[in-house]
Structure 1
Amino acid sequence: MATLQRLFSETLHEDNNHRTAELYNEATEDYEFWSRDFNMHFGYYNPSRNNPFMRDTMLNEMNRQVYKRIGDSKLICDLGCGMGGTMKYGLERNKELRVLGVTLSEFQATEGNKRLTGLNGLILKEDYNNTTFSDNTFDSAMAIESFCHAGHSEASFKEAYRILKNGGKMVITDAFLKKEIKNLCPGGSYCYKGLCNGWSLEKLGNIPEVKRTLERIGFKDIIIEDISLRVAPSVLHVPFVISGFLLKKILKNQEIGKQSIQNLKGSFYALLSGIQMNNFGYYIITCTK
């Protein structure tokens, strides 16, 4: 850990960054109800490995799929790492691996590092659009449902490109639009606004434009996989998790915080968005510098 700290000794969207940090500072405990491993993302259903009724197996399968696409990398940056759930998954399975994570949330950095004790990983409180890392530092980078908070912006992709070594891979897993916002149907537009407001998302990129942006920056060998049907079984857990969380709060006579309410709203709209496959999709993007 000390070695890592020695080695890695004005944001573009400050208002949204503040709201994102506030969301995760106050509502991260909600995610423990979603995942005991603090996997703050949806899952990947692999019928040969997962039980669709056991959510954490699917969430960890998403982690496995990301590391599988990253390949044989020794130094990885997790851009928007949350509580370090994906970091911990990889570090526990590969003792030669080193992972640096960045998050806007002070709470996530502090508590996440406690969970990484004894592992070769470190979480820093930084903005993934403007990190302090040197050029050409990392073998690979990953962004799991994090770049959406900055609207899948060119700035995010450029920063990832900058800190990657030549030949380094970037893997993004996230929900995207399949068309421009102005072309969404009324129902799609309603769900989209609810999703962005609930989860403090600046916007969702649309897949054709995202690919063009990655190419313009210089990424090559861009592979875009639509895994919406693989993700659907974990999305279907959302109404049961929301109901269980609310029931728990009611039985314990606990107040539901403002950010928790926003988080629950975002989860609800994620479910509604997930069934509109003409407007929304969930993808894994793999590309190389």
Structure 2
Amino acid sequence: MTMETLQPAGVAGPDTATSPSPIGDYYDETVVDYGVWSREGYLHFGYWRPWLNPFSRKPMLEEMNRVVFRQLGLDHLPEGQIGDLGCGFGAVARFGSRLYPQLEFHAVTISPQQVAEAQRRHADERVHYYCADYHRLPLPDGALDGVYFLESLCHSTRPDEALAEAARVVRPGGRIVLTDGYITRPLHQTSALFQHVVKAVAHNWAVPMFHEIELARRWTGQGRLQLIDQFECGWRLGPSALHAAHLSAWHFCKLLLRRDVSAWQWKHLVGSAYTIALGLYRRYFRYHILTFQRNDRP
């Protein structure tokens, strides 16, 4: 698949009949707030390993990028096209384009503000941005060699449909990596206090509800995908998640001095403040990386 056949969709908004507007509104209105977490534009949690400084977020955030890329098998691709579905400001795709200069990255977000900000920040990178819903991708069949959802599939109420669409645009044998937090059982089987905590995070981050891990393991992308690898890494996220406490307190003080703070900005702050408590509920909440492969043949 050559680049001439893959054209970015520009900054026009996605089809309003299908786009989940609260999610777009949330990300449109919290562009500045996420800058508190990462100047580079990362929106995800970091991955700690031995010899990484737990007091420095950037190395841990970029280590998470590397973990996802290893699961995709990018080290073994001499060339190719990679999709970042739910890309935020495109920081992960930008990092990937520098780490793997032989690859082209295609980054999709439902937020026009994120597309505009990503293009402003990374105009000279080998990354192509699309303002679109990842349930209806503006890409042809088999266009990509791999796809990742980095803390983005949690926004979908139709995850298997989103995976089926990802499988459509991935070539046979290509991989799809999901990185996210999952509840370990149906919500009604958890404690009342946990339900309060998880809802405080999810609803304030425009997440309908985190998916159940046992259901996620059985996703097939409507019959086109096979789960080939999985592992839980919640403790690896702990050092970066702890940064949320002082950052939330500092950002709260800054917001108090402003008059133009939106409702979503306050909600984002509340959700961030609850993340540490959520991560400590290991009985009911875990962080997993799942790797699927498109299992049909050309």
TM-score by length of 1: 0.92
Over 3 Å counting, the alpha-carbon distance change for 1:190 and 1:258 in structure 2 is same
Picking from 150, 162, 170, the partner of 2:168 is 162
Structure 2 CA distance for aligned equivalents of residues 204 and 217 of structure 1: 23
Picking from 272, 280, 284, the partner of 2:285 is 280
Matched, 1:35 2:38: yes
Structure 1 CA distance for aligned equivalents of residues 142 and 101 of structure 2: 23
Give the Å deviation of 1:211: 1.0
Structure 2 CA distance for aligned equivalents of residues 192 and 164 of structure 1: 33
Give the Å deviation of 1:188: 1.5
Matched, 1:229 2:229: no
Identity %: 27
Over 3 Å counting, the alpha-carbon distance change for 1:253 and 1:211 in structure 2 is closer
Picking from 77, 81, 87, the partner of 1:75 is 81
Give the Å deviation of 1:13: 8.7
Structure 1 CA distance for aligned equivalents of residues 157 and 236 of structure 2: 23
The aligned amino acid for 1:79 is: L
> Any stretches of 5+ residues in structure 2 without a counterpart?
9-13
Over 3 Å counting, the alpha-carbon distance change for 1:149 and 1:111 in structure 2 is same
Q: Residue 43 of structure 1 contacts residue 61 of structure 1 at CA under 8 Å; is this kept in 2?
A: yes
Q: Which moved more, 1:18-27 or 1:240-249?
A: 240-249
The aligned amino acid for 1:78 is: D
Picking from 98, 101, 105, the partner of 2:104 is 98
Structure 1 CA distance for aligned equivalents of residues 208 and 290 of structure 2: 20
Picking from 58, 61, 64, the partner of 1:59 is 61
Structure 1 CA distance for aligned equivalents of residues 178 and 16 of structure 2: 20
Over 3 Å counting, the alpha-carbon distance change for 1:98 and 1:265 in structure 2 is same
Picking from 68, 91, 114, the partner of 1:108 is 114
Please give the residue correspondences for 1:1-289 in structure 2 after superposition, counting only pairs within 5 Å: 4=3, 7-8=6-7, 14=18, 17-48=20-51, 50-72=52-74, 73=77, 74-151=80-157, 153-214=159-220, 217-250=223-256, 253=258, 255-289=260-294
Structure 2 CA distance for aligned equivalents of residues 30 and 233 of structure 1: 20
RMSD of equivalent CA atoms: 2.1
Size of the aligned set, in residue pairs, is 284
Give the Å deviation of 1:208: 0.9
Structure 1 CA distance for aligned equivalents of residues 211 and 15 of structure 2: 19
Give the Å deviation of 1:269: 2.5
Over 3 Å counting, the alpha-carbon distance change for 1:25 and 1:12 in structure 2 is closer
Secondary structure in 1 matching 2:219: helix
Runs of 4+ displaced beyond 6 Å: 10-13
> Any stretches of 5+ residues in structure 1 without a counterpart?
none
Q: Residue 151 of structure 1 contacts residue 204 of structure 1 at CA under 8 Å; is this kept in 2?
A: no
Q: Residues 147-185 of structure 1, C-alpha deviation per residue, up to 9 Å, x if partnerless?
A: 101146211111111111001011111111111122111
The aligned amino acid for 1:62 is: M
Q: Residues 241-268 of structure 1, C-alpha deviation per residue, up to 9 Å, x if partnerless?
A: 1011123334x55543211111111112
TM-score by length of 2: 0.89
* Bigger helix fraction: 1
The aligned amino acid for 1:123 is: Y
